[in-house]
Structure 1
Amino acid sequence: MNKKSIIAIAILAIILVVGIYYTVQDKNDTNDGNDTPKEDAVIDENNDKETLPEEKVEEDPAEEPQEEEEQVTLERGKPAPDFTLTTLAGEEVSLSDYEGKIVMMNFWATWCTYCDQEMPDLQRLYEENKDKDFVVLAVNVGEDEKTARDYIDEGGYTFPVLLDEDSKVAQQRYYVSAYPTSYYIDKDGTLIGAVPGMMTYPQMTQILEQIRNGEI
């Protein structure tokens, strides 16, 4: 492990059609400045399954089982499932519209404490990279347009916000059950992996640089 690494990251969780996560974790005991570190996930070396800190994700209290319209397989190295949603600006966009950019697709909700804590770092990451090869897509799950808009306006966030009001994209295409959860998608639309749970700005930037450098 590279001893120069100063932050812990959790990356490349492959969520299969049955919803099982497999995650590769790089970690280091040191931390950078005032950023609050994400607690290390615990990996059982015998079965390579990960147990995440419970406080890092929140289950949707309003979430109810929904009938699955179609089976979608999520697999690293395969195309990320496409979808079309409406933005807060009233524009219909598809994931495929962002080919040519590295996409960080962040599933969130206004009631989620850890989403709220993560938002300023998402904004900073977006502002520093929006004119480059990267975009943040913040997918609001299960809430109406006014609820999402009021929250975004109050926070002064400017990254694209997509409305998944019926939760179908989150639940039926990306099998999201806890928030926040972030997916990374390469410039050609290929799924790189996912990070379930809150991240800090240093963790986000390290993952982005590793993707750019072809390290993951």
Structure 2
Amino acid sequence: MNLKNKLALNTRRSFLKTLTSGVMSLAALSAAALKPALAARLLLSPLFKPKPAPDFALENLDGDIVKISDFRGKVVIVNFWATWCPPCRFEIPSMQRAWNIVSKEGIVMLAIHVGGNPDRVMQFAADFDVDFPVLMDQKSDVIKQWPVRGLPTTVIVDPKGSMVLQAIGSREWDDKALLDQIRALNR
């Protein structure tokens, strides 16, 4: 190989190294820039104007009647979901992990299943080791009274009984920043 070809080869290698390095740097910067946006998307949004949470009386999987008014004075996480909803299924394990944490802090979690067969919901709860309260809104009466535009939707009710925060879509419910946002309502 003559000197001219060696110089051309070295120039090409140098260019490729620079290009690869530039692409990698751009990818790293993009990921760093997106991280705050993704984290913010995972937090809860304040409701424009907090309103009193509509009361309900729904059966849980044991057949007992549960009312949200029974929990006045506590923060209540109200999650609307369905077994046929893939994002709902995705977030259930993180909800269970969150429940294991917040139940010790006096925070209540109510998962309201919309429509559907109670036997299927019971099997789902067993398959996913769900031990937080699951309520049945078989006729979809309750969901119509709440600010739900899609599943899953979660509404956080403050100790005064007002709907103050919401999440449309799935979340990682055991995320520290998200849990801190909920805990702040207890102060």
Same fold (TM over 0.5): yes
- The match for 1:12 is 45
Query: Which of 150, 156, 165 is residue 123 of structure 2 equivalent to?
Result: 150
Query: Which of 147, 151, 156 is residue 179 of structure 1 equivalent to?
Result: 151
User: Which ranges of structure 1 fall in alignment gaps of 5 or more residues?
Assistant: 15-21, 23-74
Alpha-carbon displacement from aligned partner over 1:106-126 (angstroms, at most 9, x marks no partner)? 100000101111000000000
- The match for 1:119 is 92
1:100 to partner: Cα distance: 2.5
TM normalised by structure 1 equals: 0.63
Number of residue equivalences = 150
Aligned equivalents of 1:174, 1:147: Cα separation in 2: 24
Query: Which of 35, 51, 66 is residue 93 of structure 1 equivalent to?
Result: 66
User: Which ranges of structure 2 fall in alignment gaps of 5 or more residues?
Assistant: 1-35
1:13 to partner: Cα distance: 5.0
Larger radius of gyration: 2
1:182 to partner: Cα distance: 0.3
Aligned equivalents of 1:215, 1:86: Cα separation in 2: 27
2:98–2:174: 8 Å Cα contact kept in structure 1?
no
Aligned equivalents of 1:210, 1:166: Cα separation in 2: 32
- Aligned pair 1:196/2:168, yes or no? yes
1:193 to partner: Cα distance: 2.1
Normalized per residue, the structure richer in helix is 2
- The match for 1:44 is none
Instruction: Name the amino acid aligned to 1:192.
Output: V
2:44–2:181: 8 Å Cα contact kept in structure 1?
no
1:168 to partner: Cα distance: 1.0
- The match for 2:15 is none
1:106–1:183: 8 Å Cα contact kept in structure 2?
yes
C-alpha spacing 1:10/1:128, structure 2 compared with 1 (3 Å): closer
Alpha-carbon displacement from aligned partner over 1:91-114 (angstroms, at most 9, x marks no partner)? 001001112321111100000101
- Aligned pair 1:208/2:179, yes or no? yes
Deviating above 6 A after TM superposition, structure 1's stretches of 4 or more consecutive aligned residues are: none
RMSD over aligned CA atoms reads 2.3
C-alpha spacing 1:183/1:211, structure 2 compared with 1 (3 Å): same
